[in-house]
Structure 1
């Protein structure tokens, strides 16, 4: 798997790869459900000790009040990023209501009814109420069960010094903003082509609690009285039980240029959709959704990867239109229940090598026929990824997942070589070799290990999840925060509560007027 530095430069037609280019900017957003000792979803509100879910920079909620989201600052150090995430877990565990713990799996715990999934609450400000209403709408559109699925989002960008030099080396006459945006779209197209590989290597959701499928069509098999599964599945979270819907399938988003992407999403944001019109906007003066369009907000479009830009006071599409792509967000990663943080340094090194490979490799424009092939490859890997001899489609021709994986890993070895050389290490190539082991032996994948543990211990999925959740909790509680970090988190939580109060006091419009103005948004 190891490649020489010069051969790797030649592979990507580079004359150099400076150490400063490898200072990748990364951040992790990790979701985890709060659960009771019995393995049921917590019904308690977001703990006040964690601060305001609306304004806290590190700890918030996603769909449900019980779905905690931990966010690291941007860092060019893998160790620092993971250390901060580790400390965030300690802080969250300190502030959990007595008896509660964090669920370590992506697929949820015991859920008796949708009524027991409390919507996230963000206070009385117009923006806080909008965030809760958005989640109310998601529940009506897709069901609340789907929204309890958790995952890891990996934010990635190359450093400014890379872009300055790469722009010059490429001989581009574009502005830096246009060049960077074009290359990030280049990365995104390749990511879509090869994302099935991430699902195979890191998928960790081959089984679910039976209660998760109540009143839903599925083709899962019974592992035991309480557990459903697919024998060769890798990542059911990315399949039909996860973030899929007929409405979303009707949206074709092309990543050939930014305007096309923006126009596609803006059209969905402004196009009424009959099933959502039947839901309506209100029932007995209670708001049901932000609007009745195909998408309420940009983030409702469930993609495995998103182009992103940060900024206050403007909509995501407006920020992209004005300033271009700043970073990308990978959204196809399960929580690994065998890892305390759900992710580790080896996986991050592989992700970095994979994303650099997607950036530097040729990336043809996408067409609808290829998009169909990409979707089929992903679905096959989700449902049957570990099946012996499984064939995917590559440019209209069959190729086994094993052979294509091996070819891809060998080629990704070139980007790993560049990163190894820049960091004066062999860790990136070692991370790649660890993934080849999973390709050679599917029993080494997280999905296979989970099923093996369920079968060896005669454990239902929920009991497996509780056992690992308890072990992780004990580990974090036995290692207290250093005083300086403890003080920082405590102060940040207090500041976030003050910021929420200020937001609530500063609103000048009533919510009805605010919502009307929000829905009148024009690019």
Structure 2
């Protein structure tokens, strides 16, 4: 028996069930480039005062020494998650010698991609491995792709929520609780992939880029040039999510299935063993220097580019897929979000409210399994929206489980989805004793019906109607956000907490380095066994 959206709405409106919705766990990972006040990429390494990038829990680096990543712990309050991120940024600004955080997803002016410094993690084997992995990314895809910034939003439902969901299932199809939770999260993943074109449409904020991003290469996309020299596409929403950004042609042939945990893990583990003729030409260890960790399609599992991932907290030395296979899905990681340039944290409280609605909706709607052809259709929708999401002539393919395809405009399909999501918003309002979720539906639906209200349209209006420079506009925001952040009091953490955390992380890194017993070659052999 397949339960309908209305069935779930009715069930969670009864008794105390709605209260389980108030147990949502959220975490934010925000990436941001360090830049100098004049707008150039900082050449300073990761500041020691921030702690060890290898072991610090809240402040680390991504691809480059200059690409910071801030990580909040699991929080059960949207407001608290934002406050935590603001505090992390406040401490960071106090330690980076007047540098700024670039407030856009697409990077600032970079005259030479070879000057983008790889992130360094010390002399331990695991630290060296992280840097070699990044060397591999540079050799495979180039540095510019790797200094694009984004927001990752981690989301989990409470155990009590899943108990209610399981109680609604027929007794004869009941299964072990952890297996049931994983199955339900994979249902969310599939529904998210079907509807995730909404995310770049609503929140894409990278319709334009600095011409230096192309590093002299001839663009494959039909860019236009703004009065100040920025490159843009008229109807684009998120160039970050296009072929210019986080995509890989080598990965396009992978058949990683989202129908169940077992097949997904098998697919990922196959990909990290699958040889690539293209990457093999790079070489692995040449003249005593590593160019990449291996010549496989994926060096490690993190190289799999996807708009959403199933996640399980890993134990020391454990690979992500093994953690999933052993303990199932604990949370999901939404990865399709551009940095929001209109708020200092890169993600707003209002966005979190909508993501709560959207993911809960994906948990309630029909559990549709799909084949590779269906998945390609959803990916095509995503690509169409990132490149021309505000084009009034755009039609998206809505494929049902019988394989029938209906072509719909963003406005038509979007309003259908918002009609249903409005019911979920009322539930969340009831659970959190607020009106913020129904307010979110009204605000985001307005973008569906008027594309000029989208962030991507606002950015283009600044560039074209106001004829502002993308760089100067971004620098103005960056300077404003730094000043406002430094003037704000700590809300969740304290200065003392961060000072102690930085020192403790340095001590932990030293301990890891001192306890290494294998040489690096043997360490890698052992790791990939």
TM-score strictly above 0.5: yes
Question: SS of the residue aligned with 2:197?
Answer: helix
Deviation, structure 1 residue 216: 5.2
Alpha-carbon distance between aligned partners in 1 of 2:333 and 2:22, rounded to the nearest angstrom: 18
1:345 aligns with 2:342: no
SS of structure 1 residue aligned to 2:94 = helix
Shift of 1:519: 2.3
Find the partner of 2:220 among 211, 218, 221: 218
Question: Which residue in the other structure is 1:494 paired with?
Answer: 503
SS for the counterpart of 2:281 is: helix
Specify whether residues 25 and 510 from structure 1 end up closer, same or farther in structure 2 by C-alpha distance, changes over 3 A only.
same
Q: Deviation at 1:164?
A: 2.5
CA contact (8 A) 1:64 1:117 kept: yes
CA distances 1:13-64 after superposition (whole Å, capped 9, x unpaired): 6263331332200000000000112211111110111100000000000000
TM-score by length of 2: 0.94
Written as runs of structure 1 = structure 2, the 5 A alignment for 1:156-167 is: 156-167=155-166
Distance 1:256 1:264 in 2: 11
C-alpha distance in structure 2 between counterparts of 1:268 and 1:67, whole Å: 27
Q: Residue in 1 aligned with 2:271?
A: 268
Partner of 1:3: none
* Secondary structure of the corresponding residue to residue 408 of structure 2: strand
For 2:162 and 2:398, locate their aligned partners in 1 and report how far apart those are by CA, in whole Å: 31
2:175 is aligned to: 174
- Tell which deviates more after alignment, 223-232 or 292-301: 223-232
Q: Which whole-Å deviations, capped at 9, do the CAs of 1:258-284 have from their partners, x for residues lacking one?
A: 111111111110011111111001222
Name the TM-score, length of structure 1 as normaliser: 0.95
**SS of the residue 2:474 aligns to:** helix
Partner of 2:329: helix, strand, or coil? coil
Q: CA shift at 1:484, angstroms?
A: 6.1
SS of the equivalent of 1:312 reads: coil
Q: Give 3-state SS (helix, strand or coil) of 1:270's partner.
A: coil
1:250 matches 2:253: yes
The alignment yields a C-alpha RMSD, in angstroms, of 1.5
| Counterpart among 310, 321, 327 of residue 317 in structure 1 | 321
Counterpart of 2:194 in structure 1 is 193
Q: Could you tell me how far apart the structure 2 residues matched to 1:311 and 1:158 are?
A: 19
Q: Indicate the SS of the match to 2:33.
A: strand
Q: What's the counterpart of residue 79 of structure 2? A: 79
2:152 aligned with 1:153, yes or no?
A: yes
CA deviation digits over 1:268-311, x for unaligned, max 9? 10011111111001222111111111100001000000000002
Pairs aligned (count)? 513
In 1, the alpha carbon distance for the partners of 2:205 and 2:8 equals 33
**Structure 1 residue 10: deviation in Å?**
3.6
Q: Does the CA contact (< 8 Å) of 2:228 and 2:467 recur in 1?
A: no
- 2:409 aligns to what? 400
Indicate the SS of the match to 1:504.
Answer: helix
> 1:518 pairs with 519, 522, 527, which one?
527
In the alignment, structure 2 segments of 5+ residues that lack a partner are 400-404
Taking the aligned partners of 1:290 and 1:13, their CA distance within structure 2 comes to: 52
- Helix, strand or coil: the match of 2:226? strand
Distance 2:418 2:356 in 1: 13
1:389/1:400 contact within 8 Å kept: yes
Cα pair 1:12 1:361 within 8 Å, conserved: no
Q: Any idea what the Cα deviations from partners look like across 1:362-409, whole Å, max 9, x if unmatched?
A: 021111221121111111110111112321111222111111011101
More displaced, 59-68 or 213-222?
A: 213-222
Counterpart-to-counterpart distance in 2, 1:107 and 1:53: 23
SS at match of 2:133: helix
Q: Which residue of 1 aligns with 2:233?
A: 230
Q: How does 1:432-471 map to 2 (within 5 A)?
A: 432-471=441-480
Partner of 2:402: none
Distance 1:217 1:482, change over 3 A: closer
Conserved 8 A contact 2:107-2:147: yes
Kept after mapping to 1: 8 A contact 2:89/2:485: yes
What CA distance in whole angstroms lies between the structure 2 residues aligned with 1:281 and 1:367?
35
> Contact between 2:83 and 2:491, CA under 8 Å: does it hold in 1?
no
Deviations along 1:491-517, one digit per CA (max 9) or x if unpaired, are 111110100000000111111110111
2-structure distance, mates of 1:59, 1:154: 16
Displacement, 1:225? 5.5
Which one is further off, 458-467 or 65-74?
458-467
| Paired residues of 2:55 and 2:509 also in contact (CA < 8 A) | yes
Q: State the match for 1:4 in structure 2.
A: none
**2:517 paired residue among 500, 503, 508:** 508
SS at match of 1:333: strand
Task: For 1:445 and 1:225, locate their aligned partners in 2 and report how far apart those are by CA, in whole Å.
Answer: 22
Q: Tell me, in whole angstroms, the C-alpha distance in 2 between the residues paired with 1:510 and 1:454.
A: 53
Provide closer, same or farther for how the CA distance between residues 132 and 391 of structure 1 changes in structure 2, counting only shifts above 3 A.
same
Please tell me whether the aligned partners of residues 402 and 440 of structure 1 are also in contact (alpha carbons under 8 angstroms): yes
CA apart distance, 1:483: 10
Equivalent residue, structure 1, for 2:368: 364
Query: How do 1:34-45 and structure 2 match up within 5 A?
Result: 34-45=34-45
1:112 maps to 2:111: yes
User: For residue 56 of structure 2, what is the aligned residue in structure 1?
Assistant: 56
How far apart in 2 are the matches of 1:245 and 1:429?
38
